[in-house]
Chains A and B, each alone.
Chain A
Amino acid sequence: METIKRTRGRNVRPALGTAAAGLLALAFGLLPSSAAAAPQPVPAPAIPGAPSLPGPLAAPSQPAENMGLLKATPDIAAAGSKFTLSGSKLPAGKNVSIVWMTSNVNWILDARPDSVDYIGQQETKGVGVILGTTTTDARGGFSLGLTVPRDFGGIHDVYAVIDGVQQAKGGFLIERTLKITPLKGPVGTMMTIKLAGLGSTLYGGSASVWYDGRYSGVVTGKWTRGEATVHIRAAGPVGEHTVLIGTGMQFNYLNIKQSPIPWATGGMKTFVVTKDAGPPPARTDWPVTVRPTVDTRTTLSSANLGVSGAGAAVRLDSASGVVNAKVAVTATGLTPGQPVTFDWATVVGNRVNCTGSCWQFVSIPLGGGTAAADGSVRSTFTVPDGLGGWHVVRVMQGGQVKAQISYFVKRSVISAPRTVKAGRPFQVHLKGVGWTQLDNTVAVTYDNGYIGYGCGFNSNGDVVLDLVATGGPGTHLIDIYPLLYPYQPAYAYPPHAAVPFLSFARDFPGLALGYQLPAFRLAIKVVA
């Protein structure tokens, strides 16, 4: 029974047809292309090594009728620097809390069973933390040595709070810093770009990377309090190359010094390519492993989840894998002696050329058996060659869903050439690309220049990228990055979208939902 719904005349791709033709696909719902958004800031997962709030939260305080001033020396420096904060003419012999004003920044998503929409970011301002404490002397003065916290860049207000009253005010500007290592090596050398002091605001909170004037992608540090570590590889030819860190929200704000955030500066380094030793080995860079903070998983639904299923459970021997991976499944708590089937919940459709129902849930049989006398059943299934991302394995018995469990399909590289004639087309083949606005698209750079993107929804996770061997004989680099997709449905001005997301490993909204989206780093040798 073919239940795959064709939308607005678009043909389902062969990969989907092949995968589904012999399977019993059960449609259990139609979905609009723009489900009602319920955007929520997603709590930040614990990113390893990322700074936390610079101090304990301060109690609310009120401004004094006659507020004095605090002097910070210096008052512009990078995180980790030392500075002295002093005040005078304050109440004598009093305990003083130094309250540092900062923000928290979170990504905003609309996570639903049928998709995850990317909305943007939200800054929560006015977060006061205690940076230090001291006591005023008999003349009402104090001088306190402090360390500039690892915090968002830009201006921070600082208050001396005594007995709940802001008696004096100062300010401090955390500068941006840039470090790139190494600065010399053969083609393919992995560069580590470390940025600190990215701001908390929309415009001040990101940067861009440019290699010899070519746009490589965007860098953010929202969940990492303005710190970002990203990697790009040195592209040829032999000689000097310019790595520029641009300012602004997504591309380069060329007159940032005339903006309200003139301190959100960039930087520039020269990388020397010493030789071309041929294509470096292909590699996959995965994001950090974090505990998700949002439970919502696509295709996880309570529909037809019978009350009689109470007590049933299912477990897998792995929580994630690539298409065609073998997974052992065990279900317990079932009715003994009754048939059991396992099925795979996924979706089919696309985001293009549709105004009504653009995709729908389908289920793919995974096999089954008969529940043993103890109510258990064991089986092994093959991860369907389909969409990547979060899916659900459901345990069916008597026409009801008895239990279900989520499984994450990772994207993978199926094939890529190593040698291509100059000027000739070639293909890079991926599988397991997903369908949500977090994972339906990959962004591709060629020698660190953004050349385009590939989508996996309409082709059921199968992506064949058509590229051309340019740049002349020698080694050329192809990097494939995660991308935040901003269309269908489109929201108002989602930032940092539709470009290579270089900081995917530590500051990507999908991390909160358990998405593991890597960068694939490939290379070809172009010959004459």
Chain B
Amino acid sequence: MKTLTFAIGAATVMGSFAALAAPAVAQDPYPGAKVAIPVYADTVSSSRGDVRLSRVCTQTNFFPRKARVVFRSWALDSKTGKPLTQLEIKYAYVKIPGQPNLKLNWGAHGTAPNRVSFWSAAWAIPADYPLGVVPFRIVFKAEDGRFGTYLQPPIEGAQLTVTP
């Protein structure tokens, strides 16, 4: 769903530019290329950390230094359409420039009836971490050897960003 949102957003932005700059270029239709393991990811605020945002567990991509970024992710099996859990995934991690790989864990979150399971990991932003966009990458490897990766859409302002 989020991927769809990104795609529509990207299409909208691109459409706007296309309207402003000739010649217009054809857009890639949604969905894009078929992949073995499509991955969704987002970031939310944490209830912990030396610096805490005013609202917790809320989607955002702007985090001040010393705050904790919570990565949330879902990986789907394109053959079955079902989410991949710790039973099917050999390993999963977030790759952040200059940081050790951050292991993603599968678990249930929330309370009934809104309890939901997903992959997550928390990253405490170091006090001296560079400002600006964090070009992170998420990697899943399934037990059967297939990979799934996630890169942020190239939409500045929608990417994970470290602020003072």
**Residue A157 interfacial (CB < 8 Å):** yes
- Evaluate whether A126 and B156 lie within 8 angstroms (CB atoms) in the complex, with A67-B97, A155-B163, A262-B163 already known: yes
- Is A67 a contact partner of B131 (Cβ separation < 8 A)? no
Check if A63 sits within 8 Å of B156, measured CB to CB.
Answer: no
Nearest chain-A residue to B54 (Cβ)? A258
- Check A69 against B98 for contact (C-beta < 8 Å): yes
Interface residues of B in 18-60 (CB under 8 A from A): 19-21, 54
Q: Is the CB of A173 within 8 A of B164?
A: yes
Residues of A within 8 A of B62 (CB): 260
> Knowing A40-B20, A125-B156 touch, does A76 contact B164 (C-beta < 8 A)?
yes
Q: Tell whether B144 is near chain A: CB-to-CB under 8 Å.
A: no
A137 at the interface (CB under 8 A from B): no
Binds B, one of A1-9, A164-172, A269-277, A437-445: A164-172
A72: chain B residues within 8 A (beta carbon): 130
Interface membership of chain A positions 36-70, coded 1 if the CB is closer than 8 angstroms to chain B and 0 otherwise: 00011100000000000000000000010011111
Count of chain A residues with a beta carbon within 8 Å of a chain B beta carbon: 32
- Chain B residues with CB under 8 Å of A71's CB are 128, 130
Q: When chains A and B are docked, how far (Å) is the Cα of A58 from the Cα of B111?
A: 51
Q: How far is the CB of B38 from chain A (nearest CB, A)?
A: 21
Are A169 and B97 also in contact (CB < 8 A) when A155-B132, A156-B132 are? yes
Cβ of B14 within 8 Å of any chain A Cβ, yes or no, is no
Closest chain-B Cβ to A202's Cβ sits at a distance in Å of 10
Verify if A75 is at the interface (C-beta below 8 Å from B): yes
Which label, helix, strand, loop or mixed, suits the secondary structure of the B interface? Answer: loop
Q: How far is the CB of B121 from chain A (nearest CB, A)?
A: 18
Number of interface residues of B (CB under 8 A): 22
Q: Is A296's CB within 8 Å of the partner chain B? A: no
Whether a CB of chain A sits under 8 angstroms from the CB of B107 is no
Q: Mark B104-140, 1 if CB is under 8 A from A, else 0.
A: 0000000000000000000000001111110100000
CA distance A41 to B154 in the complex (A): 22
| Bound-complex Cα distance A317 to B21 (A) | 38
Of chain A, the residue at the smallest CB distance from B151 is: A63
Q: A122, B132: Cβ atoms under 8 Å?
A: no
Report whether B131 and A155 are in contact in the complex, using a CB–CB cutoff of 8 Å: yes
Chain A residue numbers with a CB within 8 Å of B130 are: 69-72, 75, 158, 169-171
A210 and B93 alpha carbons, distance in the complex (Å): 51
Whether A68 touches B98, Cβ cut-off 8 Å, given contacts A41-B20, A125-B156, A126-B156, is yes
* Closest-CB distance, B97 to chain A (whole angstroms): 4
Beyond A68-B97, A126-B156, whether A75 also contacts B131 by CB under 8 A is: yes
CB nearest neighbor in B for A106: B20
Decide: B131 and A169 in contact? CB cutoff 8 A.
no
Q: Which residues of B contact A258 (CB under 8 A)?
A: 54
Q: Does B85 contact A (CB under 8 A)?
A: no
Contact B128 A172 (CB under 8 A): no
Chain B hits for A155, CB < 8 A: 131-132, 161, 163
> What per-residue 1/0 map shows which CB atoms of A102-145 lie under 8 Å from chain B?
00000010000000000000100110000000000000000000
Other CB < 8 Å A-B pairs besides A76-B131, A76-B164, A171-B131, 17 of them?
A41-B20, A66-B95, A68-B97, A69-B130, A72-B130, A75-B130, A108-B20, A126-B154, A155-B161, A156-B132, A157-B132, A170-B130, A170-B132, A171-B130, A173-B131, A260-B62, A262-B163
**Please, could you name 14 A-B residue pairs with CB atoms under 8 Å apart, sorted by A?**
A39-B20, A41-B20, A67-B98, A70-B130, A71-B128, A72-B130, A122-B20, A126-B156, A155-B163, A158-B132, A168-B98, A169-B135, A170-B130, A171-B130
A interface vs B, CB < 8 Å?
A: 39-41, 63, 66-72, 75-76, 108, 122, 125-126, 155-158, 168-173, 201, 258, 260, 262-263
- Taking Cβ atoms with an 8 Å cutoff, the residues of B that contact A are 19-21, 54, 62, 95, 97-98, 128-133, 135, 154, 156-157, 161-164
